[in-house]
Amino acid sequence: MTMGIDTMSSGKELDGLIAENVFGWKNLVWKEVSSKVDELGRWTSPTGWHGDGPNGATYLTKAYSTDMGDAWDVVSQLSQKYRISVHDMSVDGKWWQCSLEARDGKYRFPVELAHKGDEFANAETPALAICRAALKAVMGERNGY
Amino acid sequence: MDIDSIPAGRQMDSMIADKVFGYIVSYPSTALKDGEAWRGVPAYSTDISDAWKVVDKLRETCCDFSISEGYNAAFLKDEGVFAFTHVWVVSTADTVPVAICRAALKAVMGE
């Protein structure tokens, strides 16, 4: 599974996976619908992910893999279990790395030494690196890694 | 000026617009001149998406970047071809946008 995560692109598929696996959305369905404006001028039933989300939400407004503000929601959601760092890591400035260090109360020595539960991912953008690392972390937890 | 004591808010936002992006900023109304038009100064010190524009700007012009929990934001200024000429400019704050903004101001203004 993690092999596939490292090659996932930013976009709706990854956003949906993050919503399900990190934020607990259920029954997510992508709906291509013509947006309508109700009598109060609000957009209703816009194209996007619809389902059963936290706090009664039924429409996913987040673009985790492309918007840094939304990507940081992922970081906040995982912050009780992981310490995060995001680094610009290439000479040409085209690669970012997100590291999620499990809060296991143990020192890393040498610092590069990953412990069980630590995850990291590389990507062309920081938002995508965060999403890939987050997905690897939560899926690794479920698979007992 | 003690950059590490500047709080989040319009003053910091305006300083970022001025010092990092080079906009003409109208104080204290916190509008900036973008071409021939005036618009509001983005909320660099409170909004992560806006703060990340600061990161992108400095990555274009001078610096590598890193952020870790704490929050510790660091720009690596490459001032020559040798490793000893690389300087980490670091700032710590309670929020990510403030840490980014303070480190950015240090990077462009000097500490």
**DSSP code string of A19-83:** HHHTT--EEEEEE----EE-TTS-EES-SEEEEE-GGG--B----TTT-HHHHHHHHHHHTTTEE
pLDDT digits (tens, 9 = 90+) for A12-53: 999 999 999 999 999 999 988 766 677 777 766 678 999 999
The verdict on B29 touching A (C-beta cutoff 8 Å) is no
At residue B87, the 3 state secondary structure works out as strand
Tell me which of A32-41, A58-67, A134-143, B92-101 is least confident. A32-41
Q: Which residue's structure tokens are 């692109």? A: A9
Reported confidence tier of residue B44, pLDDT bands at 50, 70, 90: very high
Peptide bond into B7 cis (omega under 30): no
Residues in A closer than 8 angstroms to B65, CB to CB, are 87-88
Chain A residues whose beta carbon lies within 8 Å of the beta carbon of residue B66: 85-88
Chain B contacts of A67, Cβ < 8 Å?
A: 49
**Beta carbons of A79 and B69 less than 8 Å apart:** yes
Kindly report which listed range (A120-129, B39-48, B80-89, B98-107) carries the lowest average pLDDT score: B80-89
Q: How many CA atoms lie within 13 A of A135 on its CB side?
A: 29
Which residue is closest to B44 within chain A, CA to CA? A69
Q: With an 8 Å Cβ cutoff, is A120 touching chain B?
A: no
Residue A62 has pLDDT above 70, yes or no: yes
Domain count, chain A: 1
The answer to whether A19 and A49 have CB atoms below 8 angstroms apart is: yes
Q: Is A87 on the interface with B (CB under 8 A)?
A: yes
B59 at interface of A, judged by CB pairs closer than 8 A: yes
* Better-predicted residue by pLDDT, B54 or B77: B54
* String of DSSP letters for B18-84: HHTT--EEETTTTEEEETTEEEEPP-TTT-HHHHHHHHHHHHHHTEEEEEETTTEEEEEEE-SSSGG
Largest CA distance in chain A: 62
Query: Whole-prediction pTM value?
Result: 0.83
Nearest alpha-carbon partner for A24 in A5, A1, A52: A52
pLDDT band at residue A119 under the 50/70/90 scheme:
confident
Whether chain B has a CB inside 8 Å of the CB on A88: the answer is yes
Interchain CB distance below 8 Å, B66 and A83: no
Amino acid at A137: A
C-alpha distance from residue B92 to each of A51, A123, B2, B46 (Å): 39, 25, 13, 15
CB of A84 less than 8 A from some CB of B: yes
CB contact under 8 A, B68 and A86: yes
Report whether the peptide linkage leading into residue A46 is cis, meaning its omega lies within 30 degrees of zero: no
CATH number of the domain residue A134 falls in: 3.30.2120.10
**Predicted confidence (pLDDT) at residue B30 exceeds the cutoff of 80:** no
Nearest to B100 by CA among B79, A103, B63: B63
| Cα distance between residue B97 and residue B25, in whole Å | 20
Q: pLDDT, tens digit, for every residue of B71-106?
A: 999 998 876 666 566 788 999 999 999 999 999 999
Rounded mean pLDDT of A96-122? 76
Q: Is B27 within 8 Å of B13 (Cβ atoms)?
A: no
Q: Provide the residue range defining the domain that includes A55.
A: 2-143
B48 close contact with A: CB closer than 8 A: yes
User: What pLDDT sits at residue B63?
Assistant: 86
